[in-house]
């Protein structure tokens, strides 16, 4: 009798299993209306992830809106990462919801002509620091409980090869952008030490030179080896999949960039 009950239980459970859909991993992307951010949303949604696509002004993000209309797994949220009150409010909205990958993509180059030695515009410097340096740390702080509660526990910030002190031998333009990215590298490296024991993995990933508005503003658009957003994002996602707890700067190719 007992064995019949066991068999019935197994049959019942195996019959029910397909009905219980596995929970999809969740990624939150900042700056997802264009460039690399929009492509991250596209590729993660295509992989079946649940995507929280944040954008400074949803009313001026038609490509993202069209993508969200095609994919039920994309939720668009308004977030100006330069505004800490908005970050805190969004984290409160998502309280108790696991986030597997927190992806700090939003970034600002700042006007090129305002960050050379001939003219250093400090208001521009503050804005660049607010978006590139303070915001990723504020995001990590606000969403840490969501990341810790998730399966994958990853915090990723996009940095730039221009942040490398070791590689800044000749050209030294774009002071603000370089400083802001070198600063966020340190913030993320320190963060890794802080959250290592909670199992969190912190990534500092450089996407390469990618054909976006930011690259065109930088003056590097015609350089050799420029990637499409599709190529760069596919490679960065592979690096996110392989993330460890070293918190070093990793290029899209998987090579380490010297600090
Ligand atoms: N492209 C490259 O070659 C390259 C190389 C190295 C690193 N990166 C890094 O990659 C990341 C993405 O850049 P991208 O190349 O895709 O540049 P992009 O096309 O200029 O996109 C930048 C994104 O950041 C968003 N953003 C800027 N300030 C924001 C704010 N206060 N709040 C919310 N979003 C804000 C922009 O939104 P709005 O439209 O609202 O301004 C836009 O979505 C950046 O962190 C950048 O530094 C890019």
Q: Average pLDDT for residues 56-84, to the nearest whole number?
A: 97
214 lines ligand 1 (CB under 6 A): yes
Per-residue pLDDT for 12 more than 90?
no
Query: Is the predicted pLDDT of residue 169 greater than 90, yes or no?
Result: no
pLDDT tens digits, 16-57: 444 445 799 999 999 999 999 999 999 999 999 999 999 999
* Predicted local confidence at residue 14, as pLDDT: 46
Identify which of 113, 136, 95 has the alpha carbon closest to the alpha carbon of residue 217.
113
Determine the distance separating the centroid of ligand 1 and the alpha carbon of 115, expressed in angstroms.
18
Does the pTM surpass 0.75? The reply is yes
Class of the domain covering 22-251:
alpha beta
If we measure between CA atoms, which residue out of 198, 109, 191 comes closest to residue 157?
Answer: 191
Q: Dihedral sign for Cα 222, 227, 230, 236, please.
A: negative
Residue of the nearest CA to atom 44 in ligand 1? Answer: 107
Q: What is the C-alpha separation between 142 and 50, in angstroms, rounded? A: 20
CA-CA distance, 165 to 62, in Å (whole number)? 38
Cα 11 to averaged position of ligand 1 atoms, centre (Å): 52
Q: Which whole number is the average pLDDT over 167-178?
A: 86
Q: Is the pLDDT of residue 174 over 70?
A: yes
Query: For a substitution probing ligand 1, which of 32, 36, 174, 253 has the most ligand atoms within 8 Å of its CB?
Result: 36
Q: What pLDDT digit, counting tens, does each position of 149-160 carry? A: 999 999 999 999
pLDDT at residue 202 in the model: 98
Q: What share of the chain is helix, strand, coil (3-state, %, to 5)?
A: 50, 15, 35
The average confidence (pLDDT) of the chain is 92
Report how far Cα 172 is from the mean position of its chain's Cα atoms.
26
The answer to whether the CB of 53 is under 6 A from ligand 1 is no
The Cα–Cα gap between 26 and 153 comes to: 10
Q: How far is CA 90 from CA 30, 75, 86, 87, 102, in A?
A: 12, 13, 6, 5, 13
80 lines ligand 1 (CB under 6 A): yes
pLDDT digits (tens, 9 = 90+) for 124-144: 999 999 999 999 999 999 999
Q: How remote is the CA of residue 8 from the centroid of ligand 1, in Å?
A: 56
Q: Which residues contact 199 (CB under 8 A, 6 or more apart)?
A: 148, 153
The response to whether residue 108 sits with its C-beta less than 6 Å from ligand 1 reads yes
- Average pLDDT (93-116) is 97
Question: What number does the ligand 1 atom closest to the CA of 33 have?
Answer: 43
CA-208 nearest atom, ligand 1:
5
SS3 74: strand
Q: Is the CB of 239 under 6 A from ligand 1?
A: no
- For the chain, what percent of residues have pLDDT higher than 90? 86
**Model confidence at 106: pLDDT above 50:** yes
For residue 54 and ligand 1, the question of a CB distance below 6 A is answered with: no
Helix (H, G, I), strand (E, B) or coil at 163: helix
CB 252 within 8 A of CB 206: yes
Confidence (pLDDT) at 55:
98
Which residue's alpha carbon is nearest to atom 9 within ligand 1?
158
Poorest-pLDDT segment among 18-27, 171-180, 210-219: 18-27
Tell me what pLDDT residue 203 has: 98
Nearest atom (ligand 1) to Cα of 80: 32
pLDDT at 3: 53
Kindly indicate the confidence band of residue 188, based on its pLDDT and cuts at 50, 70 and 90: very high
Ligand 1 pocket check for 68: Cβ under 6 Å: no
- Mean pLDDT for the stretch of residues 90-111: 98
Q: Is the pLDDT of residue 64 over 70?
A: yes
Q: Using 50, 70 and 90 to split pLDDT, how confident is the model at 250?
A: very high
Whole-number Å distance, alpha carbon 215 to ligand 1 midpoint, is 10
Is residue 100 within 8 Å of 27, Cβ to Cβ?
yes
């Amino acid at each position: 009798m007992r064995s019949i009950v066991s068999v019935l239980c197994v049959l019942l459970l195996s019959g029910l299993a397909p009905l219980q859909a596995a929970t999809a991993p969740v990624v939150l992307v900042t700056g997802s209306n264009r460039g690399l951010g929009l492509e991250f949303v596209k590729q993660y949604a295509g992989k079946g992830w649940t995507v929280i696509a944040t954008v400074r002004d949803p009313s001026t993000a038609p490509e993202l809106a069209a993508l969200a209309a095609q994919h039920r797994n994309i939720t668009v949220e308004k977030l100006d990462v330069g505004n800490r009150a908005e970050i805190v409010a969004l984290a409160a909205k998502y309280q108790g919801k696991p986030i597997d990958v927190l992806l700090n993509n939003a970034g600002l180059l700042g006007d090129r002509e305002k960050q050379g030695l001939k003219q250093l515009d400090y208001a521009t410097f503050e804005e660049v620091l607010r978006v590139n340096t303070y915001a990723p740390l504020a995001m990590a702080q606000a969403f840490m409980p969501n990341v810790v509660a998730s399966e994958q526990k990853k915090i990723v910030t996009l940095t730039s090869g221009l942040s490398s002190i070791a590689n800044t031998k000749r050209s030294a333009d774009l002071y603000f952008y370089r400083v802001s990215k070198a600063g966020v590298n340190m913030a993320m490296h320190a963060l890794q030490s802080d959250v290592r024991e909670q199992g969190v993995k912190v990534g500092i990933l450089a996407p390469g030179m990618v054909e976006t508005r930011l690259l065109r503003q930088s003056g590097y658009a015609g350089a050799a080896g420029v990637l499409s957003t599709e190529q760069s994002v596919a490679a960065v996602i592979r690096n996110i999949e392989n993330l460890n707890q070293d918190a070093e700067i990793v290029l899209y190719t998987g090579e380490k960039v010297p600090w």
